[in-house]
Chain A
């Protein structure tokens, strides 16, 4: 196997390059199936991180993982981002945290991607100060039978389950470090 190209931090200046129009609007607001997922990214001192970048990848509501192009549609006339078409579901979102470390996405409840697992939204975390990105998952509900959740202690497990709020909204905070440190994943 070839050795991989190493990672480096996303640094402080990604904000004019990577975020794009409607990056967090995987579905248009007002979509009948839309849910809102939001939260804050914290550092090990419990301070919000205002320069993190989060990416989201998920199955569609039927559990399909084919995704689709068009997350970052470009306007060929002006050379700027045109926004999503509002038709189809790409399964991909990207948002930067705001000055309060807060982020929001509007999306569909993912369907189960495989039998014997609970549906979840995969999250990739980048930040200034973070030399190699981290993966975690947003589970919208907890239940027995998910191989990852069932491998965790109760307090660790709880870090992966979003808290329901009114109006089809879920709260999911990410702690890079500390007593409430989020479970981060490795693959393969």
Chain B
């Protein structure tokens, strides 16, 4: 099963592929095509997508009583400390302390209340507390990098953490992931499930990243960028970022009202 690893391709090869796909996507949109709101599952510059996307079209599930409902979570599923990633160990983690907050909404703009938000991220040096991460950057004994919380009555979530570092990966030669926080969200329906990544505004690595650029619509890409919000920063303590999230997919209530 194991074969000689191919010689890694330079960034320029990936850049050229991404540029060609982007040009075609921009042209399709200019010619009146639909906005592509989600990433392409088939995005060749992200090499491991090659064998891991279906080639047949998705099938419309005409009756979906089960999927229009979803799992529920409660106070037993989360402890209060779970949302502060800087207080899970005896000491303080190294790095730039940040607060990330925002609202989770459905596509009609209604808040998603009492639902589970989970995050995971690398430490300030770009290393995950995961055995499989072999990036020779230091582990931080005071940082695990996982968090969870329930949204409040306005759909709001808040995490305290440190700003994650960029890290290398092996998609191609000199491939670096822009700094990001992985997010996992539940809505009121299983159809609204979302796993995504928050990025930081102005990160120069975004332009080189095939995972980010698998979203070929510029406005859709911008929806993954948190906004620096000075009013959320605390004097002599932490920097604040705001990121609102809109869950895709219908829910039971949405379907009923939409009929």
Contact = CB atoms under 8 A, between A and B. Distances in A.
A16 B59 contact: no
Given A57-B70, A57-B71, A76-B79, A130 B61 contact: no
Given A16-B128, A17-B120, A47-B1, A129 B51 contact: yes
Interface in B133-187: 133, 144-146, 182, 184
A59 interface: yes
The SS class assigned to the A binding surface is loop
Contacts, number: 254
Nearest to B107: A1
A65 B118 CA distance: 23
A17 B77 contact: no
Given A4-B38, A131-B39, A18 B120 contact: yes
Q: Is the interface of B mostly helix, strand, loop or mixed?
A: loop
B132 interface: yes
Nearest to A112: B65
A107 interface: no
Interface of B: 1, 35, 37-41, 43, 46, 48-56, 58-79, 81-82, 88, 105, 107-109, 116, 118-120, 122, 128-130, 132-133, 144-146, 182, 184, 190-191, 193-197, 211-212, 214-215, 219-221, 223-224, 245-250, 254-255
Interface of A: 1-18, 43-45, 47, 49, 55, 57-59, 65-74, 76, 79, 90-92, 110, 113-114, 116-117, 120, 122, 124, 126-135, 137, 147-148, 151-152, 156, 176-177, 181-188
Given A3-B219, A131-B43, 18 more contacts: A4-B37, A4-B107, A5-B196, A5-B224, A5-B246, A13-B182, A17-B146, A47-B1, A57-B70, A57-B190, A67-B69, A67-B70, A74-B78, A114-B65, A129-B46, A152-B59, A185-B61, A188-B254
